[in-house]
Amino acid sequence: MVPSVFISSTVEDLRHIRDAVRATVDEIGYRPVMSEYAEIGYMSGDAAEGACYKTVDECQIVVLIVGKRYGSRSRADQDRTVTENEFDVAAKGGSRIITLVDQDVWTFKKVYENNTPSSKVKFPGMNDPTRTFEFLNRISALPSRNAIIPFSNASEVRDIIKRQLAIMVYDLLAEKTSPTTASLNDILCEVKTMRTAMEKNGKPDAKFMAAIRFLLDDENVQVRNLIKGVNAGPIETAIPKIEQCVDFAAFLKSLGVTLSIMDLGKDGNLPTVPGMRHCSGFCPWPFAAPEPGEKPRIAKFVWCDDARLMMNDVAHEYFVKAYAELKRQMQIAG
C-alpha cells in the first residue's frame, strides 16, 4: 500500500513550497494529500475543518511547513490555527512528522528570544510573530517528533524531503530485521494492565495502559529506567503516583526523593558520592539535537541508596518534558 503524505501549512504565503513538497512526494511514488487539490473527503457529514483533521489522522506521514504567516484561525478554537490543530492530531495519532520552517522565521525567532518582551523589534512579513514563535517552541518542547528543519528555498525543501523519507525507510527496514519489539511491548502492556485490573477486581484502566505503553517504548527507555530506580519497584507500581502528581518535581517529592541539579566535572561526569546505585549518560535525541558545528548535549543522572537523585541541567530539562508528555498521553486516554 502506498503511504499517504499530508502537507500542512499556511496556504497563502507558502504555495510554491507546498507545490515543491507535493512534486517531491509524487516523484518518490507516495500519495500527496493537499486541501487545494480536492484530496480531502468532505462528503461524510463532518464540517470542512473536521474533515481535514480526520484526513490527517489517516495519513502515515505529515509534512508541516511554518512560514511567516500565522495561518487561519480554527472555528472551534480562536486561540489556535487549523495548522496547529493538524499538527496536534498528527502527533497524537503517531504519524511520522517532518517540520520545516522558513529560514527567515527561524532567524527572527532567535532575535525575538534575545530581546525583552517590551522590545519593538519588527519582523518583516510576519503578521503574528509571537504566536508563530510560541508554536515552534511548543513543537520543540515535545519529547519526540520535535525536530525542526530550516529551509531557504524550494530546491532545498525538495532535498530535505527526499533525505528525510529515505531515513524513515531505513528506520522501518531496521525495525523489520529486528524482533517485533513493538508487538511484544503491546502484549506486555496488556498483560500488565489486565493483571493490575484483576488484582483490583476491576476493569482495565485506559490511563494505566497509556502509561505502560509510553514507558515500554524504547524511545523512553531513560524515563523507564529512572522511574524503576527511584520507585524501587516495577514501573506499574509507580503509575498511581504519576496519575496523582501534576509534574516531575511533585512525583519525586511523593516518593521522598531529593533532587539535586549539578554541573558535570572536568571529566564530563557527575561527582562520585557514596551509595551510588546507577549512573547513566545519554544524548536525548532529538530533544537536545545540536546546532550545526556544535557538540551534542549530554544528559547524565545518578541515584543513590539514600533516595538522592542527581542530574545535570540537560537531563533535568529532558525528564521534566518527558514526564509532561507521559501525563498528556494519560489524559488523552482517559
Which has the closest alpha carbon to 216: 189, 197, 177, 256? Answer: 189
Between CA 57 and CA 44 the distance in angstroms is: 15
Q: What is the pLDDT of residue 43?
A: 43
The radius of gyration of the chain's CA atoms, rounded to the nearest angstrom, is: 22
Q: What is the pLDDT of residue 198?
A: 43
Q: Predicted confidence band at 45 (pLDDT cuts at 50, 70, 90)?
A: very low
Q: In what order do the strands lie in the sheet with 299-304?
A: 258-261, 308-311, 299-304, 276-282
Query: What does the pLDDT look like over 309-323, one tens digit per residue?
Result: 888 888 899 999 999
Contacts of residue 174, defined as CB under 8 A and 6 or more positions apart, other chains included, come to none
Residue 41 has pLDDT above 80, yes or no: no
Q: What is the pLDDT of residue 78?
A: 75
- Going through the chain in order, the beta strands assigned E by DSSP cover 4-9, 31-33, 61-66, 96-102, 148-151, 258-261, 276-282, 299-304, 308-311
Q: What is the pLDDT of residue 265?
A: 76
Domains along the chain?
4-177 (3.40.50.10140), 181-333 (no CATH)
Q: What is the pLDDT of residue 62?
A: 92
Query: What does the pLDDT look like over 153-197, one tens digit per residue?
Result: 999 999 899 888 887 776 666 555 454 455 555 545 545 554 554
Spell out a b/e string for 187-212, using b for 16 or more CB atoms within 10 Å of the CB, else e.
eebeebbeebeeeeeeeebebbbbbb
- pTM for this prediction: 0.54
Query: What does the pLDDT look like over 70-129, one tens digit per residue?
Result: 888 887 777 788 889 899 888 888 888 999 999 999 999 888 888 876 677 888 989 889
Which has the closest alpha carbon to 1: 58, 84, 85? Answer: 58
Query: DSSP of 61-126, one letter per residue?
Result: EEEEEE-SS--PBPSS-TTSBHHHHHHHHHHHHT-EEEEEEEHHHHHHHHHHHTS-TT-----TT-
Residue 38 has pLDDT above 90, yes or no: no
Residue 201 has pLDDT above 90, yes or no: no
> Locate cell 530533544: which residue?
287
Q: Predicted confidence band at 327 (pLDDT cuts at 50, 70, 90)?
A: very high
Q: Helix or strand or coil: residue 280?
A: strand
Q: Helix or strand or coil: residue 142?
A: coil
Query: What does the pLDDT look like over 266-302, one tens digit per residue?
Result: 767 777 777 666 666 677 765 655 555 666 678 888 8
Query: What does the pLDDT look like over 229-255, one tens digit per residue?
Result: 887 677 778 888 999 999 999 999 999
11 versus 149: the higher-pLDDT residue is 149
